[in-house]
Structure 1
Amino acid sequence: MDWPESPFALPDHASGSETMADAAREIVAAGRRMDRLGFLPATAGNLSRRLSSDRFAITRSGGHKGFLTEADVIEVGLDGQAVRAGDRPSAETLLHCQIYEHEPEAQAILHGHSLAATVLSRFVRDTIVLEGYEVQKVFAGQTTHTAAIRVPVFDNDQDIPRLARNVAPLLNDMPAGYVIRGHGVYVWGPNMKSAMARMEGLEFLLACTLHERSLAR
């Protein structure tokens, strides 16, 4: 699978990746796209792709995701531990583990730190409501712009197991993913292209909501 000419293109891998190399290529492509869209400043964010029922590929700790190479993607188990000695996954790997364990259909997870998500989440209590936007139909199960989609907002916490426990009760009702306050968003999908579409959809809607609020002041 060659690297696509467009910086915004993703490898055409519609279903689960069969090899670590496939997953790494998808993650590298996704990282470059998210960086170009402004979702991954500095060394922020992490991206993953399921490999099997008990393993997935994820970006290693640190490093700019816009300059990823396949060597920057490592393999971990659902316990969050690296398969290869010496590899260091992000502390937030446990949040990926949680989603993969809870959502059998999830094949890719994206976590970014956009300006809109970071700022807007600092000014809401526990939920961002999206309603009236056509783009809402990018999310699983959504067929109309008239539906109200609730996006949970969780307080940021350096204690990742505790943060995961706070997220757990609402995982059954997150068609658009969730937001960590002052931090960023988590979205997932049945393949990398779907996850990316949901990431872009959510980020667009968060930016719209933030802009609407600024106009209403």
Structure 2
Amino acid sequence: MESDLHPTNFPQLSQQLVDAVRFIGERQWCPATGGNFSARIDEQHCLITQSGKFKDQLTLDDLMISTMDNKAVDPALKPSAETGLHTKLYQLNPQIDCVLHTHSVHSTVLSRACGDKIVIQGYEMQKSLRGNTTHLDSIEVLVFDNDQDIDALAKRVEAKWHAGEITQPGFLVKGHGLYAWGNSVSEAKRHVEGFEFLFACLWQEKLLGKA
């Protein structure tokens, strides 16, 4: 992993990101080198996983540094094709310090079975998502149409963000998976776990004919 940037917390941040990605990979939430994961270094740079790496086997050498305008600090390394969506989220909210994108079966299939949003209500696990304090509330998770043009997708996310329609720390991309974030690697990981549990429950409800 290249770096001329050495903030005090750089080694700790790098290891936290690798540990979170391996945790996710071991649960088969991003098979076949899928998914991409990042952490903010400062206002101009983020760590992000290199393209084509198996996430359950990720090492520090599989991380790289990107600028917030999606340029690799080391041009010999290839960042994820979806880097632009990570950096857009960092630009939209300076409190976001980590973005995790998974490709789990439940999140991917559920995104295809729903419209432009998923409504969740009645699950205690809703409280794992920042800002939610009771299972009684109804929460909405937006679902965006997939797009191979990441800049176009990022602009649609930006429009919904400014319209105040993204109210949870994550959204789904149809037939693709989950993007979740947090103000630390630990919080983003918690949000991924919470979302993945909730999506699995919702899919089971559909199989039981209750949704």
- The one-letter code sitting in structure 2 at the alignment partner of 1:124 is C
Cα distance in 1 for partners of 2:105, 2:48 equals: 23
Residue 170 of structure 1 pairs with residue 160 of structure 2:
yes
1:158-204: CA deviations, max 9, x gaps? 01011111111222423131000111100000111111110000010
Structure 1: gaps of 5 or more residues: 1-16
Aligned residues: 201
* TM-fit CA distance, 1:22: 2.5
Q: Does residue 203 in structure 1 map to residue 196 in structure 2? A: yes
SS in structure 1 of the partner of residue 64 of structure 2: strand
Cα distance, 1:21 vs structure 2: 2.8
Amino acid at match of 1:178: F
Aligned-partner residue type, residue 96 of structure 2 = A
Q: Give 4+ residue runs of structure 1 displaced > 4 Å after superposition.
A: none
Alignment of 1:1-217 (within 5 A): 18-171=8-161, 172=164, 173-216=166-209
SS of the counterpart of 2:100? strand
Partners of 1:149 and 1:176 within 8 A in 2: no
Aligned to 1:8: none
Letter matched to residue 185 of structure 2: M
Distance 2:41 2:118 in 1: 32
For the 8 Å contact 2:169–2:182, the answer to whether it is kept is no
User: Which deviates further from its counterpart, 182-191 or 172-181?
Assistant: 172-181
Counterpart CA distance in 2 for 1:18 and 1:174 is 32
- What value does the CA root-mean-square deviation take over the aligned residues? 1.3
Instruction: Quote the Cα distance in structure 2 between the aligned partners of 1:148 and 1:176.
Output: 15
Identity value in percent: 40
Provide the rounded CA distance (Å) in 2 between the counterparts of 1:164 and 1:74.
21
Distance 1:21 1:131 in 2: 39
* 1:48 Cα offset (Å): 0.6
Once the 2 structures are TM-superposed, how far is the Cα of residue 140 of structure 1 from its aligned partner?
1.7
Q: How far apart, CA to CA, are the structure 2 residues paired with 1:33 and 1:116?
A: 17
SS of the residue 1:82 aligns to: coil
Deviating more after overlay: 139-148 vs 88-97: 139-148
Query: Which position in structure 1 is the counterpart of 2:4?
Result: none
Q: TM-score, normalised by structure 1?
A: 0.89
